[in-house]
Amino acid sequence: MLNEDQLAKLRRAGRISAEARDLGCSLCKPGAKLYDVAQEVEGYIRDHGCGLSFPCNISINECAAHYTPTPNDDKRFEVGDVVKIDCGGVLDGYIGDTAATVEVGTNAYRNLVEASKNARNTVAEFVGEGTSIRDIGRAIEMSVKRDGYKVVENLCGHQIDHWDLHAGFSIPPYDAGDETKIELGMTFAVEPFATNGRGYVDNGKFGNIVQVVREKPIDDPKAQDFLRYIADEFHGLPFCARSCDFPNAEKYVKLLMRKGILHGFAELVEAPGAIVTQHEYTFYAIGKRAEVTTLP
């Protein structure tokens, strides 16, 4: 169990994450640049005393996750885009992770947007100490199917730990037979993805998000300085060059990827023409009914 001070930090990180999520969703207007929205979301998190638990993901239509814009990215929202805003703040290692979906200027996919939200809310009604992973997955799949759609089978919720965004168990969005139970004091994210596609994502192109995966000696002194910077700034959490206050960050990200020190995340993409929606909460198992930490 977290002590009072630790729990206060988890709650604050969650609240700031939720406020940033809602801000990002409100900015998804026709003609707005993805880069500007990502900067606003991350700026809000940092301006309110948190670091970034990962870059702001802005994933559109068949892209389900793992895309964040670069400074030279000219992409703008178009009418009809179905946009997932996935963001998180961290305070002294205590993490918020949350997401929501908005449709830009239309309501053609309103029921699909609601499907992932309904599944998340269904889990929130019962999850807590003693709930099994299989029960969470079953509830997600039943809810999404009841709304007429498919879950994205290979995108899962996950346990969260101190300075560790994806720790311990995963939570598949279906009954995988996992009898592991949520224990008192655990933090975890539930993030149903719903789709009118096939229910499976593949790796696409590089989504501009990276993470340190190994330590290796490197001769370039500036690259060493950059490594020290990202260790102090991100503490092993995922990041992107855009989020770095370091000269020529993109150059050093590319160098460290070539050296195998950084791993690059690919966009996760459904079939062309499919639409994916996502809603996510972070929970803390404070008792038989878990607390949602990512409420504004």
Burial of 221 (0-12, 13-18, 19+ CB in 10 A): exposed
Say whether pTM exceeds 0.75.
yes
pLDDT in tens, 9-36: 999 999 999 999 999 999 999 999 999 9
What are the residues facing 158 on neighbouring strands? Answer: 170, 189
pLDDT in tens, 112-130: 999 999 999 999 999 999 9
pLDDT in tens, 236-266: 999 999 999 999 999 999 999 999 999 999 9
Closest CA to 280 of 96, 129, 111, 110: 96
Element (H, E) at 41: helix 34-47
Residues with catalytic annotation? 86, 97, 158, 166, 191, 280
The first and second tokens of residue 211, run together, are 């993470």
Average pLDDT over residues 140-165: 98
Distance between CA atoms of 92 and 72, rounded to whole angstroms? Answer: 32
